[in-house]
Structures are given as C-alpha cells and as structure tokens.
Structure 1
Amino acid sequence: MTQPASTGLQIFRADYNHAGHASALVDLLDTYARDPAGGGHPLGDFAKTHLVQALAARPQAFSVLAFDGPQPVGLVNCIEGFSTFACRPLVNVHDVVVLASHRGQRVGEKMLSEVEAIARERGACKLTLEVLPGNAPAIRLYERIGFAGYQLDPALGNAQFLQKWLS
C-alpha cells in the first residue's frame, strides 16, 4: 500500500521498499528510542541507515504503521518466532510506538488488531511482548485487548524477561 493521501487515521502493513514507509519507520522508532520507555537515547547512525533494509531481508519480520492523513503517528515492529510446545509460529511484538499527540485515541489498539490479523494469516498460535512495569498506560492497553502475564504453573510465577548483550 502506498502512503495514504487522505485525512483520517489509516492502519496498514508497512512496505519496506516504499520510501515513505521506510522513513516513517525510522523516524517513529527514533522517537521511541529517545523516550525513557525506549531507553532515552536516539537510534545510532548504523541503525538509522540499515534498519529497514535489515528488516526487509528477514521474512519473519513485519511492521504496521499508523498515519493520520499524511503524518506517521504509530508503529509496531514484529518478529515471528516459534512455539515448540504448540509446534506453530508465534509473533513477538517487538516495538510499539504512538506519538504523544495521538495517545489515548486507540491508535495502539488499532495497530495491534492489524498485527493480530497478520499473525493469524501466518498461522501463529499467540502474540508475545515485553513491557516495563512502570509503563502503566501500555499495560492497561495490553490487558484490555487480552494480553496476560506468561506462566506455565501458577506456583512458579510469571516468566521474567532477561537479556545478555553479546559484543
């Protein structure tokens, strides 16, 4: 789909080969990275230059954009993984970005609805995501649309998200 020319909110799957979509993706992700919820630092030059090309090279990646008329206002980046227990794909919602000017207008909910539709087309068994405990508005959104803490046995508690950087 080409960049919408009409006014009003439009939600659609990004085309990594479309210059307007590519620019919107990088700009929105940079805005998110600069926010405390995204780490508080701008994207590096390498990421800005190579991100869209790297996503396009990975068939398991897809992104959803939100435009309000010609203005990009939201982004969700997703990476397909695999559930060994279900022996089916899963989709990890990796980044969710909504510009401050459009928060509280259900932009995130609408983008995640499109993500769910794409995940179902791919035969995915579930969506996963990580969220910081201090991001209460995001947690409310995710819970409202059906996300819940991950646990296999309540006696063992919810799963924790851990990381180890590789140099």
Structure 2
Amino acid sequence: MGSGTEQNHPPVEIVRAELDRPDHSAAVLDLLDAFAREPVSGGRPLPREVREELIPGLRSHPTTLILLARKDGRFIGAAICFTGFSTFRARPLINIHDLTVLDSHRGQGIGRRLLRAVEAEAREMGCCRVTLEVWNENLGARRLYGSEGYRGDGSTGGGSYFFMQKELA
C-alpha cells in the first residue's frame, strides 16, 4: 500500500484500519457520517445509535476489512469491505460495502487508489473477484468503477443500487 502521488498532489498513504486504535475508529465514523450526509446517500447524519454500535459491530464481524486513505496526517477516505465466498469458484471474494472520499479531496485519484488497494488485498488473499453495489444516481462512482474494469450486469437491488464486479483470475 504505502505512499504515492497522483497528478502532483501530496502523497496519500493507504493503511489497513485497526479498529482498536481510537484514531482509526474515529476516522471510520467521521468518514462514514460525511458520506451519509451526502444527497446520494440520503442526506442525513448517522443516527446516534448507529454511531455507538458501528465500531463494536465492525470489530466483532469476522470478515471486516477497512482501508483508510491518509494525506497530510488526516484521514480523507475509506473503503469498508467484507470478505465472502464464491460457491461457483470455490474461492473467497471481497465486497466493497462503502467507498468514500471527503468531498474536499475528490478528483485527486484517492478513490482510485483505495479501489486498487482493495484489489491488491483481494489478490493477496486469493480472491476470485471484487464486488460492490453503487447507488444508481452516483454516476461519478459508476464511471470510476467502470474505468477500473468493474462491470455491471444491469441488475439492481430494488431499483436503488447497481451491482458491479471485477474478476481477478
């Protein structure tokens, strides 16, 4: 993972979240809350009970994988993922449940860096694919995923989500 630059921007470090660290836990909560407040995600902050239960729930869930993007000492993006298993391929897979970058840091390649870091983790784990769901209205994210080789089958989850995946090998 490590550091790198995108188009003359300061380095961005991608790290695996350690939810027993207060700074990592706070970053996950703050980034997810900022994402929830966006119109595409409902436009409302995370409810108090969700903020209280999220980190303990993520800690106790056996397949949680969270990557954080840090720039200039500040966490600015996250990929919240869970591992699953493909019965047809008899191999693990990773599902990206949430991928978010603070609005003030978009357009700098950070989402792309997070996506590629998830794929690197998936390859290291021997996963056959990475899957995700994206809001139908989130055209910017859908363009990013498409440009990175993710393909959708046109199916939606009740009309709100578009399912996409990338085969790894």
- TM-score, with normalisation over the residues of structure 1? 0.84
- By how many angstroms is 1:62 displaced? 0.8
CA contact (8 A) 1:12 1:114 kept: no
1:75 matched to 2:75? The reply is no
What is aligned with 2:36?
33
> What TM-score do you get using the length of structure 2 for normalisation?
0.83
1:6-85 map, 5 Å? 8-85=11-88
1:88 counterpart (77, 83, 91)? 91
Following the alignment from structure 2 to structure 1, what is the Cα–Cα distance between the partners of residues 16 and 90? 26
Query: Can you give the 5+ residue segments of structure 1 that lack an aligned partner in the other structure?
Result: 1-6, 151-157
The CA deviation string for residues 75-110 of structure 1, in whole angstroms up to 9 with x for no partner, is: 110011121111211111000111111101010000
Amino acid at match of 1:108: G
Distance 2:33 2:130 in 1: 24
- Structure 1 residue 135, shift from structure 2 partner: 1.4
Q: Which runs of 5+ in 2 are unaligned?
A: 1-9, 160-169
Query: What percent identity do the matched residue pairs reach?
Result: 41
Structure with the bigger percentage of strand: 2
- 1:162 corresponds in structure 2 to 158
Larger CA Rg, structure 1 vs 2? 1
What secondary structure sits across from 1:159 in the alignment?
strand
Moved over 3 A (4+): none
SS in 1 for 2:78: strand
Q: Shift of the alpha carbon at 1:27?
A: 0.3
Cα distance between partner residues in 2 of 1:107 and 1:53: 27
The answer to whether the Cα contact below 8 Å between 1:88 and 1:125 also exists between their aligned partners in 2 is: yes
